[in-house]
Structure 1
């Protein structure tokens, strides 16, 4: 069904004259008349009768009008949902329980008037996310490109915020009673981070972390989801994992898992935001400003090499 024909029918019905509908739609009266005639042929009913004053709805036209209005409204909403500048601010996060999503949710709670659409592309290759930004499919993505020269000319990256890491362990783990931990205390303990994808920023992050502090990072096996990971930690006396301090995890109370901050130095995962250089979404600037108002990390912080020159 031609949606422009449906739109022409709705405006003609509401205004009572084909010429008035044509003027509002920016087309000729003949175009409106042809659209409505084609719609009547498709529906196999008469929608209007002509009068000296214009047009009046037939009984079939009266029956069709409310549904036609719904069609026009649905089309307008669909266009608004995808048109840059009029649609919601669309930001890609790595997961809906990640620090990025948590901070965006906190911002939205303070600014409920913002039209925000949080999505997850679920791709490991940052180039795919960059391409989505460049094409305008999303307005920004929380990805780190360790080599900025790979970015297209009309896409840039900015430092958003740092996510401090914590050790997550079950109640029988030898470090479970610790209130804080230093990186040297993690040596010789198995830190299980399943599913680290090669050639990703987090793969490079864990490589540098393991080398710097002589840690045993185990990426064995696929990642079957947070529920399996948390259950494994609860049952184990020797497996731990690393999580972001702002990451949101939920587990049954009988798991009795412990989140232990890592200090001296704090291990910081740098989170960057990739966005278009020109004409970014108008709501994005306020969120970027919000990142700058987050509580700063302690002075003693370790970051990977690609982040040491970024502003913090």
Structure 2
């Protein structure tokens, strides 16, 4: 059903005259008459009766009027749902306990009036597809993995370098250390069952192993962070890497230790991805907020894989 004809019908019903309806709609009276005639033809009923005073609704016109008003209200809600600034900003943070989620909490505290939808997508291909389709507005990712450049229409900027820490149980050989060097980790078993082949974090830890000769095991099913913490607490031979901004809570009797890693400090590079033509005004606010609050990129004494995009550099040569 043509909404222009429905809108013309409602305007004419409210005005009581086709001439006045034409003035309200800024069209000719002939255009109003043609639209009403088209609507009547499509519905198979007469909607108006012409009188000396103007136009009066028939019984069918009276029955149709409330539904016509609802059609226009539904149409307006549909348009508003996708109008820039009227719908929530949808951002992928990968994991709700990770650093990206913390960045979005900081943004929400700074701009509480901005509506947000926070989602968690698995890998970068899924995130890029969602950005390009408009399903999400932005995603936090470690870009780019070797041989997997971003599409031309996807923009990115490095927003946070998150230092890795060693997480060890109370009986681990390094549990009493105030910090450990990367070289001291050689020969120790680091267990990370959440590493999935083909992901950007998988590529990151592959590069870490290749650079420093570490032993990272991804064996066994991934039952989540709680099961990982239980195992690390009870197994003296195992430790794991944890992002310094990852928020985790464990029982006091676990005795787990977060130990800084130095010389150099491996940092996980978080970037924000978005479509270059995305008009959502809150996206620009988020980018400005991250640019103003993020710090610690490419600092001395840190390490990232050589495929990571430097801060402020274009995403491809």
C-alpha separation in 2, matches of 1:36 and 1:195: 63
Deviation at 1:229, TM superposition (A): 1.4
CA contact (8 A) 1:84 1:136 kept: no
Q: 1:35 to 1:109 in 2, by over 3 A?
A: farther
CA contact (8 A) 1:179 1:261 kept: yes
197-206 or 167-176, larger mean C-alpha shift: 167-176
Aligned residue in 2 for 1:237: 236
Structural RMSD (CA): 4.1
C-alpha separation in 1, matches of 2:75 and 2:266: 48
C-alpha separation in 1, matches of 2:181 and 2:167: 14
What does residue range 29-178 of structure 1 map to in structure 2 within 5 Å? 79-120=79-120, 122-124=121-123, 126-143=124-141, 144-146=143-145, 150-178=149-177
Q: 1:175 to 1:277 in 2, by over 3 A?
A: same
For residues 58-83 of structure 1, give each alpha carbon's deviation from its aligned partner in whole angstroms, at most 9, with x where no partner exists: 9xx99x97x99999777755654445
C-alpha separation in 1, matches of 2:42 and 2:171: 74
Q: 1:300 to 1:31 in 2, by over 3 A?
A: same
CA contact (8 A) 1:160 1:288 kept: no
Q: Alignment partner of 1:204: what SS? A: helix
Give the unaligned 5+ runs of structure 2. none
Q: 1:81 to 1:196 in 2, by over 3 A?
A: farther
Aligned residue in 1 for 2:289: 290
Give the unaligned 5+ runs of structure 1. 42-49
Aligned residue in 1 for 2:218: 219
C-alpha separation in 2, matches of 1:174 and 1:248: 24
What does residue range 178-197 of structure 1 map to in structure 2 within 5 Å? 178-197=177-196
Deviation at 1:4, TM superposition (A): 6.5
C-alpha separation in 2, matches of 1:32 and 1:275: 45
CA contact (8 A) 2:90 2:119 kept: yes
CA contact (8 A) 1:195 1:220 kept: no
Please tell me whether Structure 1 or Structure 2 has the larger radius of gyration of its CA atoms. Answer: 2
C-alpha separation in 2, matches of 1:281 and 1:218: 42
206-215 or 173-182, larger mean C-alpha shift: 173-182
Q: 1:162 to 1:32 in 2, by over 3 A?
A: farther
Aligned residue in 2 for 1:299: 300
Q: 1:29 to 1:151 in 2, by over 3 A?
A: farther
CA contact (8 A) 1:114 1:283 kept: yes
C-alpha separation in 2, matches of 1:238 and 1:231: 13
Q: Alignment partner of 1:152: what SS? A: coil
Q: 1:151 to 1:234 in 2, by over 3 A?
A: same
Deviation at 1:268, TM superposition (A): 0.6
* TM-score, structure 1 normalization: 0.76
